[in-house]
């Protein structure tokens, strides 16, 4: 397909919607509102370096205004942008213990939004890329009232859309609604996300592995053997893979999506379910990676088929190029015997 110029995210979302005559436009409005929230968060994140001049987070700025921590700002902004559109029945956030009901004076819709408002925010002071991650379900509870926990605690295969925003050297919005994974780059001069990565396809095999090797002493023997193989001339490509680890999930997953290879935050002796959250980190990233032709495993099976128990469940994550993830599963399976 010839490269299309100046396709805004709004146009792309509508074009995708038009492929489904039964669509009401509510999901399109939801995704569009998320892209607006992303622009506002991007502006604040890009000012973060100036906070110390303008006023420290948690303190007051030169105008005497309270300066929120960026992750609290992103959380509050997302809720405030999304609570009145009429598309949502309930929301949930990494920053809130329980679900967040739609205010009684706002219209309730048929969708459910879960998000990690600013993942990797501990990296902000080092100017490392960070991100917002979101996951969208249809509600399962009946009636026009607010949704609840049962609408949120659902297996990833039930997602209708998922995406992330990467606040990096440029700001990118990447989403899937189940028909391909598409990336948009913010052009700050016009304030629009423009289609830059249409129908991303992750390479079947890569040459990069991404994991926090500081956890090596706690890894299972199978995982140690897997990573040692990648670091050897017996690796699947006949030479050692390159090691890349940013420590910010959205950045590490984005690189894996574009370049291939494997990203791991596996189970270990300290964390039997890994560190990353199932509902608003692992599931959306798994949907995105699978929609791009990759694979996303908890070490034993598809992340998307994992049955959650609670809103903040953790989940081991091994995702990326299909052949690389299959190799990791095989090493872990052989270990289990
Ligand atoms: P570690 C950031 O704190 C985060 O939640 C993810 O974005 C990232 O992948 C992971 O934790 C990094 O964790 O233990 O390697 O510092």
Please tell me whether residues 193 and 215 are part of one structural domain: no
Please tell me whether residues 189 and 316 are part of one structural domain: no
Please tell me whether residues 283 and 234 are part of one structural domain: yes
**Distances in whole angstroms, Cα of residue 224 to Cα of each of 207, 230, 283:** 18, 10, 25
Residue 4 lies in a domain: no
* CATH classification at residue 250: 3.40.190.80
pLDDT attached to residue 123: 83
Please report, rounded to a whole number, the percentage of residues in the chain having pLDDT higher than 90. 77
Whose CA is closest to atom 12 on ligand 1?
Answer: 247
**Residue 283 belongs to what domain range?**
208-336
HSE-CB of 167 using CA atoms within 13 angstroms: 29
Domain-ending residue, one of 197, 217, 238: 197
Please tell me whether residues 154 and 181 are part of one structural domain: yes
DSSP 8-class letter at 247: S
Position 156 pLDDT exceeds 90: yes
* 180-220 residue pLDDT tens: 999 999 999 999 999 999 999 999 999 999 999 999 999 99
Residue count of the chain, please give it: 337
Query: How many angstroms separate the CA atoms of 94 and 114, rounded?
Result: 8
pLDDT band (50, 70, 90) for residue 58 = low
Query: How many angstroms separate the CA atoms of 95 and 77, rounded?
Result: 12
* 278-306 residue pLDDT tens: 999 999 999 999 999 999 999 999 999 99
Alpha helices in 48-173 (DSSP H): 51-54, 70-82, 149-152
**Distances in whole angstroms, Cα of residue 337 to Cα of each of 330, 331, 334:** 10, 10, 5
Please tell me whether residues 173 and 221 are part of one structural domain: no
The whole-model pTM stands at 0.94
Residue 29 lies in a domain: yes
- Three-state DSSP string of 10-32: HHHHHHHHHCCCCCCCHHHHHHH
Position 178 pLDDT exceeds 70: yes
Residue 3 lies in a domain: no
* 217-243 residue pLDDT tens: 999 999 999 999 999 999 999 999 999
Please tell me whether residues 193 and 231 are part of one structural domain: no
Please tell me whether residues 175 and 244 are part of one structural domain: no
* 315-326 residue pLDDT tens: 999 999 999 999
Domain-ending residue, one of 162, 197, 232: 197
Q: Which of 290, 150, 274, 162 is nearest to 212 (CA)?
A: 274
Residue 266 lies in a domain: yes
Please tell me whether residues 231 and 152 are part of one structural domain: no
| 89 phi and psi angles, rounded to 5 deg | -100, -25
Q: Is 248 in the pocket of ligand 1 (CB under 6 A)?
A: yes
Please tell me whether residues 91 and 154 are part of one structural domain: yes
Position 4 pLDDT exceeds 90: no
Residue 2 lies in a domain: no
Please tell me whether residues 220 and 320 are part of one structural domain: yes
Residue whose pair of structure tokens reads 């009636």 in the numeric block: 143
Mutation test residue for ligand 1: of 247, 268, 282, the one with most atoms within 8 Å of CB? 247
pLDDT attached to residue 94: 94
Residue 1 lies in a domain: no
pLDDT attached to residue 46: 87
Mean pLDDT of 255-283: 97
pLDDT attached to residue 20: 85
Q: Is 247 in the pocket of ligand 1 (CB under 6 A)?
A: yes
What is the 280 CA–ligand 1 centroid distance (Å)? 14
pLDDT attached to residue 54: 47
pLDDT attached to residue 27: 92
Beta strands in the chain (DSSP E): 88-93, 100-101, 111-119, 130-138, 161-167, 171-176, 181-187, 192-197, 208-210, 242-243, 262-265, 295-297, 317-320
Structure tokens at 240: 């050692």
How many structural domains does the chain have? Answer: 2
Position 34 pLDDT exceeds 80: yes
Q: Which residues contact 66 (CB under 8 A, 6 or more apart)?
A: 59, 60
Computed over every residue of the chain, the mean pLDDT equals: 92
pLDDT attached to residue 62: 53
Q: Which residues contact 140 (CB under 8 A, 6 or more apart)?
A: 150, 151, 154
User: Could you identify the atom of ligand 1 that is nearest to the CA of residue 214?
Assistant: 15
Query: How many angstroms separate the CA atoms of 268 and 270, rounded?
Result: 5
Query: How many angstroms separate the CA atoms of 76 and 95, rounded?
Result: 10
* CATH classification at residue 52: 3.30.540.10
* 109-154 residue pLDDT tens: 999 999 999 998 878 878 899 999 999 999 999 877 889 999 999 9
pLDDT attached to residue 100: 96
DSSP 8-class letter at 240: P
Please tell me whether residues 128 and 17 are part of one structural domain: yes
Q: Which residues contact 159 (CB under 8 A, 6 or more apart)?
A: 135, 136, 137, 283, 284, 287, 304
Domain-ending residue, one of 176, 197, 218: 197
Residue 261 lies in a domain: yes
Whether the Cβ atoms of residue 208 and residue 216 lie closer than 8 Å to each other: no
Least confident of 38-52, 248-262, 280-294: 38-52
Question: Between β-strands 130-138 and 111-119, what pairing exists: parallel, antiparallel or unpaired?
Answer: antiparallel
What is the 131 CA–ligand 1 centroid distance (Å)? 12
Q: Is 275 in the pocket of ligand 1 (CB under 6 A)?
A: yes
Higher pLDDT, 56 or 255: 255
CA R_g for the chain: 20
Please tell me whether residues 172 and 316 are part of one structural domain: no
Please report, rounded to a whole number, the percentage of residues in the chain having pLDDT higher than 70. 92
pLDDT attached to residue 55: 46
Residue 297 lies in a domain: yes
pLDDT attached to residue 65: 58
């Amino acid at each position: 397909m010839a490269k299309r110029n100046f396709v805004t995210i709004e146009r792309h979302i509508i074009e995708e919607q038009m492929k489904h005559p039964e669509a009401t436009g509510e999901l399109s409005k939801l995704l569009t509102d998320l892209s607006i929230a992303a622009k506002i968060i991007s502006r604040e994140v890009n000012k973060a370096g100036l906070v110390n001049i303008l006023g420290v987070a948690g303190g007051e700025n030169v105008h005497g205004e309270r300066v929120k921590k960026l992750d609290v700002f992103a959380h509050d902004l997302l809720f405030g942008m999304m609570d009145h559109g009429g598309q949502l029945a309930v929301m949930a956030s990494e920053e809130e213990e329980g679900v967040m009901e739609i205010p009684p004076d706002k219209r309730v819709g048929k969708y459910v939004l879960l998000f990690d408002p600013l993942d990797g925010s501990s990296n902000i002071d080092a100017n490392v890329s960070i991100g917002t991650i979101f996951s969208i379900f249809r509600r399962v509870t009946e009636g026009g009232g607010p949704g609840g926990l049962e609408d949120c605690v659902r297996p990833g295969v039930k997602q209708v859309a998922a995406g992330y925003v990467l606040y990096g050297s440029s700001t990118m919005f990447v989403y899937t609604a189940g028909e391909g994974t598409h990336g948009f780059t913010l052009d700050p001069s016009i304030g629009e996300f423009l289609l830059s990565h249409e129908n991303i396809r992750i390479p079947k095999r890569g040459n990069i592995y991404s994991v926090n090797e500081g956890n090596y002493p706690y890894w299972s023997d199978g995982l140690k053997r897997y990573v040692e193989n990648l670091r050897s001339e017996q690796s699947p490509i006949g030479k050692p893979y390159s090691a890349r680890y940013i420590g910010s999930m959205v950045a590490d997953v984005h690189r894996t999506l574009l370049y291939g290879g494997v990203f791991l935050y596996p189970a270990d002796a300290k964390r039997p379910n890994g560190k990353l959250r199932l509902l608003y980190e692992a599931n959306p990233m798994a949907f995105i990676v699978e929609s791009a032709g990759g694979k996303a495993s908890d070490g034993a099976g598809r992340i998307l088929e994992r049955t959650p128990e609670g809103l903040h469940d953790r989940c081991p994550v091994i995702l990326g190029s299909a052949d690389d993830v299959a190799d990791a599963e095989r090493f872990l399976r052989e270990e289990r015997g």
